[in-house]
Amino acid sequence: MCIVSDKLKFCSCGKKSIEDLPNHWVLHRYTGDQGACIIGEAVVRFNRIASNQQMNIETIRRRLHEPDAFDFKLKFKEKDRMELVITVDSSNRQYLFFCFEFTDEEWTPMESDPFDLEMHYKKVKKGKIESPDQLLRLDSN
């Protein structure tokens, strides 16, 4: 069981490609209908681990509201979406995946929809996730 740190830091620094970062976040901004035509099927590139998921969601949701969570200043807008990926075990392709939407000045957990993001959102910011202590700890329960 993996427990996410309550001291996560969302940094805008780091490599240009988030694929090179084991722990990363992406902020998507709602743009309306972009006229995208998507044919095919979304392929999710990670396994999701459900252990302690609800507790981790609440920890991250609270952290997103704290003023020192980000290393930059940005006014979040209605319908912004934040996706987070935290690596548990890269050799076994195990990751924790989270998505939140900013609505009524609150970050609310939600299921991510890659087609909706592609058709109605643009990426406005991305970066790595750090923590002054361990990003994850294993709980023996």
- Nearest Cα to 136, choosing from 56, 47, 68, 71? 56
Digit-coded pLDDT (tens) for 106-129: 999 999 888 888 888 999 999 999
Q: Which of 15-19, 57-61, 109-113 has the lowest mean pLDDT?
A: 15-19
What's residue 47's pLDDT?
46
What's residue 103's pLDDT?
96
What's residue 38's pLDDT?
52
Q: Which of 39-53, 60-74, 127-141 has the lowest mean pLDDT?
A: 39-53
Q: Is the dihedral of CA 30, 71, 105, 83 positive or negative?
A: positive
What's residue 112's pLDDT?
85
Do residues 60 and 100 touch, judged by C-beta distance below 8 A? yes
Give the highest mean pLDDT range of 7-21, 56-70, 87-101, 103-117: 56-70
What share of the chain in percent tops pLDDT 70? 82
Assign 1 a pLDDT band (cuts: 50, 70, 90).
Answer: low
Q: What is the mean pLDDT of residues 60-69?
A: 95
Q: 0.75 exceeded by the pTM?
A: yes
DSSP track, the chain: -EEE-TT-EEES-S-S-GGG-SSEEEEEEE-S-------S-----SEE--TTHHHHHHHHHHHHTSTTSBSS-----TT-EEEEEEEEEGGGTEEEEEEEEEETTEEEE----HHHHHHHEEEEEEEEEE-SS-SEEE---
Gap between the Cα atoms of 16 and 24, Å rounded: 11
